[in-house]
């Protein structure tokens, strides 16, 4: 988890990122971080059951409802929600979990890694992107 080579590999080229907990409020990190990634060529798929559209994209209630399999699942939810997200990722065969800064659930991360999911936890994808690409 959190290996620099993994972080570099995940951010080395634009890909599709499902953002669980993406907010419609531009003042929240769960909005401006995905907006930054979108501005840098990444396709953002919002996952939030209470938002219809955000960042010009249709929002989906769950990972299962997404029209495509994302390359990265980026999470802006409380630690208690991470186990259910990992379960859904395992069922869907999704390869990469990125849990934002300040959000930590070691048990869920261990389960994800045991299932073959690569994990970055307690790191901001925007900060790491800036560090990786500068």
Reply yes or no on whether the pLDDT at 74 is more than 80. yes
- 3-class DSSP state for residue 18? strand
pLDDT in tens, 12-71: 888 999 999 999 999 999 999 999 999 999 999 999 999 999 999 999 999 999 999 999
- Taken in order 55, 126, 103, 99, is the CA torsion positive or negative? positive
Where exactly are the structural domains of the chain?
4-133
Alpha-carbon gap, residue 23 to 27, rounded angstroms: 9
Average pLDDT, the chain: 95
What pLDDT does 53 receive?
96
Reply yes or no on whether the pLDDT at 134 is more than 70. no
Q: Which CATH architecture has domain 4-133?
A: 3-Layer(aba) Sandwich (3.40)
């Amino acid at each position: 988890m959190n290996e620099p080579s993994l972080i570099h590999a995940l951010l080395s080229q634009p890909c599709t990122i499902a953002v669980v907990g993406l907010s419609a409020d531009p003042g929240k990190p769960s909005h401006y971080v995905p907006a930054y990634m979108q501005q840098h060529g990444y396709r953002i798929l919002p996952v939030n059951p209470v938002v219809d559209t955000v960042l010009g994209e249709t929002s989906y209630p769950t990972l299962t409802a997404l029209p495509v399999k994302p390359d990265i699942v980026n999470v802006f939810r409380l630690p208690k929600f991470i186990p259910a997200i990992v379960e859904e990722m395992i069922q869907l065969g999704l390869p990469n979990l990125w849990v934002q800064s300040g959000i930590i659930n070691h048990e869920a991360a261990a389960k994800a890694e045991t299932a073959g999911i690569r994990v970055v936890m307690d790191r901001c994808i925007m900060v790491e992107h800036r560090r990786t690409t500068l």
